[in-house]
């Protein structure tokens, strides 16, 4: 498990070796796929385990580099990590101490900001790097800082680090209105407030399923959190959290990605271990394209249409259409008949991947937060980059639909958020190989095929 992230780039006889996906299209996906645990729940629940005075047994942790890195960080802080099986992990943070954590890992992931709330809750102090993560526009943490300050912490950002200290040694409850609907700030404040003295109320809170999952995890460990999943969350701080067991919900965005892949390739895929209610906005939008989506109790069946209809998409906080599904949808709409419009309602620069799709023959006009896609195009294979996690998934879907061979670079982004992406797709009929390329002039020469 350890080193998932580092494994995609390595040295070989003084030549840098880069692993890339080589995708032969066009393929049609058929079969069944098991959805893993939710990345954006796991990356908050793992740091939150730092605050538990006991052993947390957490099931359905996705095997991805983001969770791998957070578990490594907790280990560096002195927590004991025991793997029960590939997706069930015991975390015992009782001997964790406040000390310098591996900042090189922290600055690689966005979710390292949850360590601020967890370390403040546990130690009364925190030092983390400014968060890393996907680069699609300005991603400030001012709402996180607003929340921690309201809870009684002195917060200072300098030299690329965030320093936070609870003025009275322990945080105290507060009423916090978020100026922006922020998933991260909502979850970070919930974490920090769980062990604060008194009641905290978060207003204008985000409502994503993974926020409810975090609250359910903390409540199963003895916290007192109500209203998660609504725009007002109330937390009555407790003195300690006890150990226990918890299973993370299935990943809404991983499921959505496979749904779009099935629709785009014109295949038929049964997604197992999902919560259909979390997928409603994605299912509704796919049905508008003519795709058939059948919901069962814990699975959905997606059948691609012979021809895809154009649609308009506007991304919004939950329960709106998820911004993380915007890039995969962008690929699908390149194949749909007619002109589609995507409006990005959350980030200010999340269309960089459109340049990569243009290399494959897509016709797209982008103006700020709006992309106009002239669909009905036959995509052709090309050398493309994964600009970020979800953009990388969009390029893989494009490669499966394109005629010819597509090589996707910077696949470490994709490995951050999709467990066994290549294995699951090949089991559905894709033709994807992870291939070593020398990072030099003849970088097209394949060294070895994994």
The residues that are catalytic are 134
C-beta of 90: minimal distance to ligand EPZ in Å? 23
Region 344-403 residues binding ligand EPZ, contact defined as CB under 6 A: 346-347, 389-390
* 34-53 footprint of ligand EPZ as x/- string (CB under 6 A): -----xx--x----------
How does DSSP assign 340-372, residue by residue?
EEEE-SS-S---THHHHHHHTT-EEEEETTEEE
Residue 170 has phi, psi (to 5 degrees) of -140, 140
Question: Of 79-87, 160-168, 176-184, 358-366, which segment contacts ligand EPZ by CB under 6 A?
Answer: 176-184
Of 389 and 402, nearer to ligand EPZ (C-beta) is 389
- Residues 203, 125, 216, 418, CA torsion sign: positive
Residue given tokens 């009782």 in the structure block = 94
Contact by Cβ (8 Å): 128, 113: yes
> Which residues of 62-215 form beta strands (DSSP E)?
80-85, 88-92, 125-129, 153-158, 161-166, 175-177, 199-203
State how far the Cα of 311 lies from the Cα of 289, in Å rounded to an integer: 6
Of 22 and 151, nearer to ligand EPZ (C-beta) is 151
Written as six digits, the tokens of 374 are: 């002239």
Of 257 and 291, nearer to ligand EPZ (C-beta) is 257
Question: Of 46-54, 180-188, 403-411, 441-449, which segment contacts ligand EPZ by CB under 6 A?
Answer: 180-188
Of 79 and 111, nearer to ligand EPZ (C-beta) is 111
Close Cβ partners of 158 (under 8 Å, ≥ 6 residues apart): none
Under the criterion CB under 6 A, does residue 315 sit at the interface with ligand EPZ?
A: no
Contact by Cβ (8 Å): 43, 111: yes
Question: Of 2-10, 134-142, 337-345, 351-359, which segment contacts ligand EPZ by CB under 6 A?
Answer: 134-142
C-beta of 31: minimal distance to ligand EPZ in Å? 25
Name which position in 99, 175, 180, 378 contacts ligand EPZ (CB under 6 A). 180
Region 325-354 residues binding ligand EPZ, contact defined as CB under 6 A: 346-347
State how far the Cα of 89 lies from the Cα of 70, in Å rounded to an integer: 13
Name which position in 60, 129, 143, 326 contacts ligand EPZ (CB under 6 A). 143
Contact by Cβ (8 Å): 201, 233: yes
**How far is residue 56 CA from its own chain's centroid?**
22
Of 379 and 393, nearer to ligand EPZ (C-beta) is 393
Under the criterion CB under 6 A, does residue 184 sit at the interface with ligand EPZ?
A: yes
Of 124 and 147, nearer to ligand EPZ (C-beta) is 147
244-247 vs 55-59, strand pairing mode: parallel
User: How many residues interact with ligand EPZ (rule CB under 6 A)?
Assistant: 26
Site of interaction with ligand EPZ (CB under 6 A): 39-40, 43, 110-111, 134, 138-144, 180, 182-185, 206, 323-324, 346-347, 389-390, 417
């Amino acid at each position: 498990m350890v080193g998932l992230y580092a494994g995609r780039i390595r040295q070989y006889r003084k030549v840098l070796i880069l692993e890339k996906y080589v995708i032969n299209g066009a393929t049609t996906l058929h079969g069944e796929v098991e959805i893993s645990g939710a990345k954006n729940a796991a990356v908050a629940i793992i740091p939150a385990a730092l605050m538990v005075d006991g052993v947390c047994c957490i099931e359905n942790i996705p095997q991805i580099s983001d969770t791998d890195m957070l578990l490594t960080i907790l280990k560096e802080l002195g927590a004991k990590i025991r793997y029960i099986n590939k997706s069930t992990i015991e975390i015992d943070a009782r001997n964790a101490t406040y000390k310098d954590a591996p900042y090189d890992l922290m600055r690689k992931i966005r979710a390292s900001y949850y360590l601020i709330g967890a370390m403040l809750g546990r130690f009364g102090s925190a030092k983390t790097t400014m968060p890393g993560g996907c680069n699609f526009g300005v991603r400030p943490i001012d709402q996180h800082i607003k929340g921690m300050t309201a809870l009684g912490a002195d917060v200072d950002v300098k030299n690329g680090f965030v320093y936070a200290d609870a003025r009275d040694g322990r945080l105290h409850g507060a009423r916090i209105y978020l100026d922006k609907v922020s998933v991260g700030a909502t979850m970070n404040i919930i974490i920090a407030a769980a062990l604060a003295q008194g009641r905290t109320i978060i207003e204008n809170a985000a409502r994503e399923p993974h926020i409810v999952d975090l609250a359910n995890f903390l409540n199963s460990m003895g916290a007192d959190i109500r209203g998660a999943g609504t725009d007002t969350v109330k937390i009555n701080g407790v003195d300690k959290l006890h150990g226990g067991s918890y299973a993370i919900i299935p990943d809404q965005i991983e499921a959505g990605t496979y749904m779009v892949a099935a629709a785009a390739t014109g295949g038929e895929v049964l997604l197992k271990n999902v919560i259909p209610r979390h997928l409603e906005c994605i299912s509704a939008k796919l049905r508008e394209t003519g795709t058939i989506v059948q919901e069962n109790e814990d699975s959905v069946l997606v059948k691609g249409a012979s021809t895809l209809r154009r649609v308009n998409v506007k991304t919004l906080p939950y329960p709106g259409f998820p911004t993380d599904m915007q890039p995969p949808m962008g690929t699908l709409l390149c194949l749909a008949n007619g002109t589609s419009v995507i409006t990005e309602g959350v980030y200010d620069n999340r269309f960089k991947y459109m340049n990569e799709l243009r290399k494959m023959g897509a016709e797209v006009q982008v103006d700020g937060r709006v992309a106009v896609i002239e669909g009905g195009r036959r995509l052709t294979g090309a050398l493309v980059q994964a600009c970020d996690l979800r953009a990388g998934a969009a390029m893989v879907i494009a490669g499966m639909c394109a005629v010819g061979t597509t090589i996707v670079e910077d696949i470490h982004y994709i490995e951050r958020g999709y467990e066994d992406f290549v294995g699951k797709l090949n089991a559905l009929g894709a033709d994807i190989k992870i291939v070593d390329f020398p990072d030099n002039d003849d970088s097209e020469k394949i060294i070895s095929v994994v």
